[in-house]
Amino acid sequence: MASTMLSLASTTPSASLSTQEILKGKVRLGSGRVGTLLNKEKGNPFIKAKSFGRISMTAAVNVSRFEGVAMAPPDPILGVSEAFRADTDVKKLNLGVGAYRTEELQPYVLDVVKKAENLMLERGENKEYLAIEGLAAFNKATAELLFGADNPVIKQQRVATVQGLSGTGSLRLAAAFIERYFPGAQVLISSPTWGNHKNIFNDARVPWSEYRYYDPKTVGLDFEGMISDIKAAPEGSFILLHGCAHNPTGIDPTPEQWEKISNVIQEKNHIPFFDVAYQGFASGSLDADASSVRLFAARGMELFIAQSYSKNLGLYAERIGAINVVCSSADAAARVKSQLKRIARPMLEQNSERKYDQQVARLSDEGWKDILGRTVFGQM
Protein backbone atom coordinates (compact mmCIF):
# COMPACT_ATOMS: atom_id res chain seq x y z
CA MET A 1 0.00 0.00 0.00
CA ALA A 2 1.56 3.27 -1.07
CA SER A 3 0.68 5.43 1.92
CA THR A 4 1.91 7.16 5.10
CA MET A 5 -0.36 7.74 8.07
CA LEU A 6 -0.03 10.81 10.29
CA SER A 7 -2.61 12.04 12.78
CA LEU A 8 -2.15 15.07 15.06
CA ALA A 9 -4.37 16.60 17.71
CA SER A 10 -3.38 19.47 20.05
CA THR A 11 -4.94 22.40 21.86
CA THR A 12 -1.76 24.45 21.77
CA PRO A 13 -0.99 26.68 18.80
CA SER A 14 2.66 25.60 18.78
CA ALA A 15 1.69 22.01 18.10
CA SER A 16 -0.53 22.92 15.18
CA LEU A 17 1.16 21.99 11.89
CA SER A 18 0.31 23.64 8.67
CA THR A 19 -0.17 21.73 5.46
CA GLN A 20 2.65 23.76 3.97
CA GLU A 21 5.08 22.58 6.64
CA ILE A 22 4.14 18.98 6.10
CA LEU A 23 4.42 19.19 2.32
CA LYS A 24 7.81 20.89 2.62
CA GLY A 25 9.09 17.98 4.70
CA LYS A 26 9.59 19.99 7.91
CA VAL A 27 7.91 17.53 10.21
CA ARG A 28 10.48 15.33 12.00
CA LEU A 29 10.58 12.99 14.95
CA GLY A 30 12.53 13.90 18.11
CA SER A 31 12.28 17.64 17.60
CA GLY A 32 9.19 18.41 19.61
CA ARG A 33 7.22 18.30 16.40
CA VAL A 34 6.14 15.00 14.78
CA GLY A 35 8.56 12.64 13.12
CA THR A 36 9.98 11.30 9.91
CA LEU A 37 10.70 13.36 6.90
CA LEU A 38 7.67 12.82 4.73
CA ASN A 39 8.87 14.28 1.50
CA LYS A 40 12.00 16.22 0.65
CA GLU A 41 10.81 17.30 -2.75
CA LYS A 42 7.52 18.75 -3.99
CA GLY A 43 5.20 17.06 -1.54
CA ASN A 44 3.64 13.73 -0.83
CA PRO A 45 0.72 13.01 -3.16
CA PHE A 46 -0.75 10.62 -0.64
CA ILE A 47 -1.22 13.25 2.08
CA LYS A 48 -4.37 15.26 2.60
CA ALA A 49 -4.72 17.73 5.46
CA LYS A 50 -7.55 19.67 7.02
CA SER A 51 -7.19 22.36 9.72
CA PHE A 52 -9.84 22.99 12.36
CA GLY A 53 -8.73 26.03 14.35
CA ARG A 54 -6.09 24.86 16.81
CA ILE A 55 -6.23 21.25 15.57
CA SER A 56 -4.38 20.22 12.45
CA MET A 57 -5.16 16.69 11.21
CA THR A 58 -3.28 14.97 8.45
CA ALA A 59 -4.31 11.55 7.09
CA ALA A 60 -2.89 9.38 4.38
CA VAL A 61 -4.92 8.25 1.38
CA ASN A 62 -4.41 4.54 0.74
CA VAL A 63 -3.60 4.12 -2.94
CA SER A 64 -3.41 0.58 -4.32
CA ARG A 65 -0.62 -0.42 -6.62
CA PHE A 66 -3.40 -1.81 -8.83
CA GLU A 67 -5.14 1.52 -9.43
CA GLY A 68 -4.35 1.19 -13.13
CA VAL A 69 -6.08 -2.18 -13.43
CA ALA A 70 -9.50 -1.69 -14.98
CA MET A 71 -12.49 -3.97 -14.40
CA ALA A 72 -12.66 -6.55 -17.20
CA PRO A 73 -15.94 -6.87 -19.08
CA PRO A 74 -17.97 -10.03 -18.46
CA ASP A 75 -17.21 -12.96 -20.74
CA PRO A 76 -19.90 -13.04 -23.45
CA ILE A 77 -20.51 -16.77 -22.91
CA LEU A 78 -19.61 -17.51 -19.30
CA GLY A 79 -21.05 -14.16 -18.23
CA VAL A 80 -24.51 -15.47 -19.11
CA SER A 81 -23.96 -18.43 -16.80
CA GLU A 82 -22.82 -16.09 -14.03
CA ALA A 83 -25.98 -14.01 -14.49
CA PHE A 84 -28.03 -17.22 -14.38
CA ARG A 85 -26.53 -18.23 -11.05
CA ALA A 86 -27.21 -14.77 -9.61
CA ASP A 87 -30.85 -14.73 -10.80
CA THR A 88 -33.35 -15.76 -8.13
CA ASP A 89 -36.29 -16.30 -10.48
CA VAL A 90 -37.50 -19.91 -10.24
CA LYS A 91 -38.39 -19.91 -13.95
CA LYS A 92 -34.89 -18.97 -15.11
CA LEU A 93 -33.17 -20.83 -17.97
CA ASN A 94 -29.44 -21.01 -18.61
CA LEU A 95 -28.77 -20.03 -22.22
CA GLY A 96 -25.02 -19.76 -21.74
CA VAL A 97 -22.69 -22.74 -22.06
CA GLY A 98 -24.17 -25.62 -24.07
CA ALA A 99 -24.32 -28.81 -22.01
CA TYR A 100 -26.34 -31.99 -21.55
CA ARG A 101 -28.92 -31.22 -18.86
CA THR A 102 -31.57 -33.15 -16.98
CA GLU A 103 -35.11 -31.82 -16.54
CA GLU A 104 -33.83 -30.43 -13.24
CA LEU A 105 -31.14 -28.49 -15.15
CA GLN A 106 -28.35 -30.58 -13.66
CA PRO A 107 -25.47 -31.88 -15.81
CA TYR A 108 -26.33 -35.25 -17.35
CA VAL A 109 -23.62 -37.89 -17.01
CA LEU A 110 -23.53 -40.10 -20.08
CA ASP A 111 -23.78 -43.85 -19.70
CA VAL A 112 -20.51 -44.24 -21.59
CA VAL A 113 -18.76 -42.12 -18.94
CA LYS A 114 -20.31 -44.15 -16.10
CA LYS A 115 -19.06 -47.30 -17.78
CA ALA A 116 -15.51 -45.94 -17.91
CA GLU A 117 -15.63 -44.86 -14.28
CA ASN A 118 -16.77 -48.32 -13.21
CA LEU A 119 -13.93 -49.90 -15.18
CA MET A 120 -11.41 -47.70 -13.39
CA LEU A 121 -12.86 -48.50 -9.97
CA GLU A 122 -12.65 -52.20 -10.71
CA ARG A 123 -9.03 -52.04 -11.85
CA GLY A 124 -7.78 -49.47 -9.38
CA GLU A 125 -5.69 -46.43 -10.27
CA ASN A 126 -2.90 -44.49 -8.61
CA LYS A 127 -2.10 -40.78 -8.48
CA GLU A 128 1.26 -40.80 -10.25
CA TYR A 129 2.33 -37.67 -12.13
CA LEU A 130 1.56 -37.71 -15.82
CA ALA A 131 4.26 -37.12 -18.41
CA ILE A 132 4.43 -33.60 -19.83
CA GLU A 133 2.62 -34.75 -22.98
CA GLY A 134 -0.14 -36.38 -20.93
CA LEU A 135 -1.29 -39.98 -20.64
CA ALA A 136 0.19 -42.03 -23.48
CA ALA A 137 -2.86 -44.30 -23.74
CA PHE A 138 -5.12 -41.26 -24.04
CA ASN A 139 -2.96 -39.66 -26.73
CA LYS A 140 -3.06 -42.88 -28.74
CA ALA A 141 -6.83 -43.24 -28.37
CA THR A 142 -7.65 -39.63 -29.22
CA ALA A 143 -5.47 -39.61 -32.35
CA GLU A 144 -7.02 -42.87 -33.53
CA LEU A 145 -10.53 -41.53 -32.97
CA LEU A 146 -9.67 -38.47 -35.06
CA PHE A 147 -7.84 -40.11 -37.97
CA GLY A 148 -8.84 -43.77 -37.74
CA ALA A 149 -6.54 -46.44 -36.35
CA ASP A 150 -5.49 -47.62 -39.82
CA ASN A 151 -4.77 -44.17 -41.23
CA PRO A 152 -1.27 -43.90 -42.77
CA VAL A 153 -0.47 -40.85 -40.61
CA ILE A 154 -0.97 -43.07 -37.55
CA LYS A 155 0.83 -46.09 -38.97
CA GLN A 156 3.79 -43.95 -40.06
CA GLN A 157 3.93 -42.12 -36.70
CA ARG A 158 3.54 -38.75 -38.37
CA VAL A 159 1.21 -37.28 -35.74
CA ALA A 160 2.57 -35.37 -32.75
CA THR A 161 -0.10 -35.51 -30.03
CA VAL A 162 0.08 -33.67 -26.72
CA GLN A 163 -2.73 -33.60 -24.21
CA GLY A 164 -4.19 -30.17 -23.49
CA LEU A 165 -6.71 -28.62 -21.12
CA SER A 166 -9.72 -29.31 -23.33
CA GLY A 167 -10.08 -27.38 -26.59
CA THR A 168 -9.07 -24.02 -25.14
CA GLY A 169 -5.79 -25.27 -23.68
CA SER A 170 -4.99 -27.20 -26.85
CA LEU A 171 -5.63 -24.16 -29.04
CA ARG A 172 -3.53 -21.98 -26.71
CA LEU A 173 -0.65 -24.44 -26.83
CA ALA A 174 -0.76 -24.44 -30.63
CA ALA A 175 -0.96 -20.64 -30.69
CA ALA A 176 2.22 -20.42 -28.59
CA PHE A 177 3.92 -22.83 -30.99
CA ILE A 178 2.86 -20.68 -33.97
CA GLU A 179 4.12 -17.51 -32.32
CA ARG A 180 7.49 -19.12 -31.63
CA TYR A 181 8.14 -21.00 -34.86
CA PHE A 182 6.10 -19.05 -37.41
CA PRO A 183 6.74 -15.44 -36.32
CA GLY A 184 4.58 -12.94 -38.16
CA ALA A 185 2.26 -15.56 -39.63
CA GLN A 186 -1.39 -14.68 -39.29
CA VAL A 187 -4.39 -16.87 -38.51
CA LEU A 188 -7.59 -16.50 -40.52
CA ILE A 189 -10.72 -17.02 -38.42
CA SER A 190 -14.26 -17.48 -39.69
CA SER A 191 -16.76 -14.65 -39.28
CA PRO A 192 -18.46 -15.41 -36.95
CA THR A 193 -16.61 -17.90 -34.77
CA TRP A 194 -16.51 -19.26 -31.22
CA GLY A 195 -16.16 -16.37 -28.80
CA ASN A 196 -12.82 -17.46 -27.34
CA HIS A 197 -10.82 -17.96 -30.55
CA LYS A 198 -9.79 -14.32 -30.86
CA ASN A 199 -8.90 -14.11 -27.16
CA ILE A 200 -6.61 -17.11 -27.47
CA PHE A 201 -4.63 -15.69 -30.38
CA ASN A 202 -4.56 -12.21 -28.89
CA ASP A 203 -3.13 -13.64 -25.69
CA ALA A 204 -0.47 -15.52 -27.66
CA ARG A 205 0.29 -12.36 -29.69
CA VAL A 206 -0.53 -14.10 -32.95
CA PRO A 207 -2.08 -11.72 -35.51
CA TRP A 208 -5.42 -12.76 -36.95
CA SER A 209 -7.95 -11.62 -39.51
CA GLU A 210 -11.32 -12.95 -40.61
CA TYR A 211 -12.68 -14.74 -43.64
CA ARG A 212 -16.30 -14.59 -44.68
CA TYR A 213 -18.36 -17.56 -43.61
CA TYR A 214 -21.99 -16.84 -42.75
CA ASP A 215 -24.34 -15.24 -45.27
CA PRO A 216 -27.35 -13.68 -43.46
CA LYS A 217 -29.20 -13.29 -46.76
CA THR A 218 -29.30 -17.03 -47.41
CA VAL A 219 -28.86 -18.10 -43.78
CA GLY A 220 -26.15 -20.35 -45.13
CA LEU A 221 -22.47 -20.56 -45.99
CA ASP A 222 -20.90 -17.69 -47.92
CA PHE A 223 -18.75 -20.12 -49.83
CA GLU A 224 -17.56 -17.73 -52.53
CA GLY A 225 -16.61 -15.13 -49.93
CA MET A 226 -14.78 -17.76 -47.90
CA ILE A 227 -12.77 -18.97 -50.89
CA SER A 228 -11.99 -15.42 -51.99
CA ASP A 229 -10.67 -14.42 -48.57
CA ILE A 230 -8.53 -17.56 -48.22
CA LYS A 231 -7.04 -16.89 -51.65
CA ALA A 232 -6.29 -13.29 -50.70
CA ALA A 233 -4.50 -14.21 -47.46
CA PRO A 234 -0.68 -13.96 -47.40
CA GLU A 235 0.97 -17.22 -48.40
CA GLY A 236 1.67 -19.50 -45.46
CA SER A 237 -1.22 -18.25 -43.33
CA PHE A 238 -2.96 -20.54 -40.85
CA ILE A 239 -6.60 -21.13 -41.74
CA LEU A 240 -8.70 -21.96 -38.68
CA LEU A 241 -11.49 -24.34 -39.68
CA HIS A 242 -14.27 -25.94 -37.65
CA GLY A 243 -14.08 -29.67 -38.32
CA CYS A 244 -17.85 -30.09 -37.98
CA ALA A 245 -20.87 -28.46 -36.31
CA HIS A 246 -19.54 -24.92 -36.87
CA ASN A 247 -19.86 -22.80 -33.75
CA PRO A 248 -21.97 -20.66 -33.62
CA THR A 249 -23.77 -21.09 -36.96
CA GLY A 250 -24.06 -24.88 -37.19
CA ILE A 251 -23.41 -24.57 -40.92
CA ASP A 252 -20.77 -26.88 -42.41
CA PRO A 253 -19.35 -27.08 -45.93
CA THR A 254 -20.51 -29.99 -48.07
CA PRO A 255 -17.99 -32.72 -48.98
CA GLU A 256 -17.58 -31.09 -52.41
CA GLN A 257 -16.94 -27.70 -50.81
CA TRP A 258 -14.37 -29.22 -48.47
CA GLU A 259 -12.53 -30.49 -51.55
CA LYS A 260 -12.41 -26.98 -53.01
CA ILE A 261 -11.34 -25.47 -49.69
CA SER A 262 -8.47 -27.95 -49.43
CA ASN A 263 -7.47 -27.17 -53.03
CA VAL A 264 -7.17 -23.45 -52.33
CA ILE A 265 -5.33 -23.94 -49.04
CA GLN A 266 -2.86 -26.28 -50.68
CA GLU A 267 -2.34 -23.97 -53.68
CA LYS A 268 -1.65 -20.99 -51.41
CA ASN A 269 0.71 -23.01 -49.22
CA HIS A 270 -1.47 -22.23 -46.20
CA ILE A 271 -1.51 -24.41 -43.09
CA PRO A 272 -4.93 -25.80 -42.09
CA PHE A 273 -5.75 -25.61 -38.40
CA PHE A 274 -8.87 -27.51 -37.33
CA ASP A 275 -10.83 -27.00 -34.14
CA VAL A 276 -12.76 -30.24 -33.48
CA ALA A 277 -15.02 -29.76 -30.49
CA TYR A 278 -18.14 -31.60 -31.65
CA GLN A 279 -17.03 -34.85 -33.29
CA GLY A 280 -20.15 -36.99 -33.56
CA PHE A 281 -22.61 -34.11 -33.13
CA ALA A 282 -23.08 -32.99 -36.73
CA SER A 283 -24.05 -36.32 -38.30
CA GLY A 284 -24.22 -38.74 -35.38
CA SER A 285 -21.18 -40.53 -36.85
CA LEU A 286 -17.74 -40.11 -35.35
CA ASP A 287 -16.10 -41.08 -38.64
CA ALA A 288 -18.27 -38.85 -40.84
CA ASP A 289 -17.60 -35.86 -38.60
CA ALA A 290 -13.85 -36.42 -38.92
CA SER A 291 -13.98 -36.64 -42.72
CA SER A 292 -12.85 -33.03 -43.25
CA VAL A 293 -9.70 -33.59 -41.17
CA ARG A 294 -9.00 -36.92 -42.85
CA LEU A 295 -9.38 -35.35 -46.30
CA PHE A 296 -6.60 -32.84 -45.62
CA ALA A 297 -4.37 -35.51 -44.09
CA ALA A 298 -4.93 -37.83 -47.09
CA ARG A 299 -3.70 -35.07 -49.40
CA GLY A 300 -0.34 -35.08 -47.64
CA MET A 301 -0.85 -31.71 -45.98
CA GLU A 302 0.72 -30.77 -42.67
CA LEU A 303 -1.95 -29.54 -40.30
CA PHE A 304 -2.94 -28.74 -36.72
CA ILE A 305 -6.02 -30.19 -35.00
CA ALA A 306 -7.28 -29.24 -31.53
CA GLN A 307 -9.71 -31.65 -29.86
CA SER A 308 -12.13 -31.32 -26.96
CA TYR A 309 -14.19 -33.90 -25.08
CA SER A 310 -16.29 -31.40 -23.15
CA LYS A 311 -19.23 -31.83 -25.48
CA ASN A 312 -19.27 -35.32 -26.96
CA LEU A 313 -18.40 -36.99 -23.64
CA GLY A 314 -20.00 -34.38 -21.40
CA LEU A 315 -16.70 -33.94 -19.51
CA TYR A 316 -17.09 -30.22 -18.95
CA ALA A 317 -15.19 -29.65 -15.72
CA GLU A 318 -12.56 -32.29 -16.38
CA ARG A 319 -10.92 -30.33 -19.26
CA ILE A 320 -9.95 -33.21 -21.56
CA GLY A 321 -8.47 -32.44 -24.97
CA ALA A 322 -5.42 -32.65 -27.18
CA ILE A 323 -3.43 -30.86 -29.85
CA ASN A 324 -2.39 -32.97 -32.83
CA VAL A 325 0.11 -31.89 -35.48
CA VAL A 326 0.32 -33.94 -38.66
CA CYS A 327 3.84 -33.75 -40.10
CA SER A 328 5.46 -34.90 -43.33
CA SER A 329 7.66 -37.46 -41.54
CA ALA A 330 8.03 -39.29 -38.25
CA ASP A 331 11.23 -37.35 -37.59
CA ALA A 332 9.44 -34.02 -37.98
CA ALA A 333 6.63 -35.23 -35.73
CA ALA A 334 9.11 -36.19 -33.01
CA ARG A 335 10.74 -32.76 -33.14
CA VAL A 336 7.41 -30.94 -33.12
CA LYS A 337 6.23 -32.98 -30.15
CA SER A 338 9.41 -32.20 -28.24
CA GLN A 339 8.84 -28.47 -28.70
CA LEU A 340 5.14 -28.71 -27.81
CA LYS A 341 6.21 -30.41 -24.58
CA ARG A 342 8.77 -27.68 -23.99
CA ILE A 343 6.08 -25.01 -24.35
CA ALA A 344 3.59 -26.96 -22.24
CA ARG A 345 6.02 -27.41 -19.34
CA PRO A 346 5.87 -23.83 -17.99
CA MET A 347 2.37 -23.18 -19.34
CA LEU A 348 0.40 -26.23 -18.20
CA GLU A 349 2.83 -28.31 -16.07
CA GLN A 350 0.38 -31.21 -15.69
CA ASN A 351 -2.90 -31.82 -17.39
CA SER A 352 -6.32 -32.67 -16.03
CA GLU A 353 -7.08 -35.30 -13.42
CA ARG A 354 -5.52 -38.58 -14.40
CA LYS A 355 -8.71 -40.57 -13.98
CA TYR A 356 -10.55 -38.75 -16.74
CA ASP A 357 -7.77 -39.26 -19.26
CA GLN A 358 -7.97 -42.91 -18.34
CA GLN A 359 -11.72 -42.88 -18.94
CA VAL A 360 -11.07 -42.16 -22.59
CA ALA A 361 -8.19 -44.62 -22.74
CA ARG A 362 -10.22 -47.38 -21.06
CA LEU A 363 -13.08 -46.86 -23.46
CA SER A 364 -10.70 -47.40 -26.36
CA ASP A 365 -10.08 -50.88 -24.96
CA GLU A 366 -13.79 -51.58 -24.69
CA GLY A 367 -14.89 -50.75 -28.23
CA TRP A 368 -15.60 -47.16 -27.23
CA LYS A 369 -16.27 -45.88 -30.73
CA ASP A 370 -19.42 -47.96 -31.00
CA ILE A 371 -20.48 -47.11 -27.45
CA LEU A 372 -19.77 -43.40 -27.84
CA GLY A 373 -21.35 -43.29 -31.28
CA ARG A 374 -24.56 -44.79 -29.99
CA THR A 375 -24.51 -42.47 -26.98
CA VAL A 376 -24.03 -39.28 -29.01
CA PHE A 377 -26.61 -40.30 -31.60
CA GLY A 378 -29.07 -41.19 -28.85
CA GLN A 379 -28.68 -37.76 -27.25
CA MET A 380 -29.14 -35.79 -30.46
Q: Is 331 marked active-site?
A: no
Selected catalytic residue, list 208, 311, 337, 357: 311
Cα distance between residue 253 and residue 290, in whole Å: 13
Instruction: Specify whether the CB–CB gap between 75 and 67 falls below 8 A.
Output: no
Selected catalytic residue, list 194, 208, 337, 368: 194
- Looking at the chain, how many residues does it have? 380
Selected catalytic residue, list 229, 252, 275, 357: 275
Q: Is 194 marked active-site?
A: yes
Q: Is 275 marked active-site?
A: yes
Catalytic residues: 194, 275, 311
